[in-house]
Amino acid sequence: MIMKRICLISAFALLTTGFVGCKSIEKDVFIPEYQNTILMPRLTTWLDQPSFENAYGANSYAVRADNDLENPYGLVETPYGKGVHEVTEKTHLYVGDKRIQDAMNIFVTEVKTNISDPSTKRSGNIVIRIGDAYRKNNYLWSVFSGLTVGVLNACGMPMCSNTTELEVIVEIYDLRNNIVAKFNERGTSKQYMAAYYGYYEFERRAAALALEDGLMKIKELIERDAAVIKAKLR
């Protein structure tokens, strides 16, 4: 009850000290940078939706993609596990959490633009999953916000923060569904919600940047092993 009152006071204080200045997420956050110098042949992108739901504590409206017309219901079995969908830039996932759609968009863009060459003949599939995940909101800021009636927030103190750490798993398969490479890396990000400089959807931004951090490391490993991977995809 005490914590609830403090949060209510903090919310009111933020509204009166510039919370409206809290920014929305920039679109370029979801556009990964840095193209590998050695690109893979064209790879079809797949996303393990249940693994992302477990990572974010999210629920599905329906565990399928809108391009999965043959199996419109439930957790269907695929070569890469139940609920693992082939996805493209036109796919919409029926989930109750924007972070999962964000992850799909980031991964598809990353593969199509920075990892493989879409103009070449398709040579395999690439799958993304999330393993261990750590997500924590620091509400200690809210306590100080309530106790100071938003005065410190007006001076730049955050309202709260989110730290997200994800185990990003990427697997590459040939056209016969034989695995040719697997990479695991951890990505992290810490984002703030604050008057003037913070982000309203700070948890969403942290998730996107943590995923990009992990994918950046994996991209480097794919480039390092490019010759071996390309030979196995033939």
Per-residue pLDDT of 98-115, as tens digits, reads: 999 999 999 999 999 999
Widest Cα–Cα separation across the chain: 64
Residue 175 pLDDT grade (very low, low, confident, very high; cuts 50, 70, 90)? very high
| Amino acid at site 167 | E
Pairs from 175-180 (Cβ < 8 Å, separation ≥ 24): 175/122, 175/123, 175/124, 175/125, 175/233, 177/79, 177/80, 177/125, 180/124, 180/229, 180/232, 180/233
User: pTM of this prediction?
Assistant: 0.80
The larger pLDDT score, comparing residue 226 to residue 59, is at: 226
Query: Which sign does the torsion angle of CA 8, 10, 16, 21 carry?
Result: negative
- Give residue 27's Cα distance to chain centre: 14
DSSP state of 225: T
Q: For strand 93-95 and strand 60-65, is the pairing parallel, antiparallel, or unpaired?
A: antiparallel
Query: In this predicted structure, what is the pLDDT of residue 34?
Result: 84
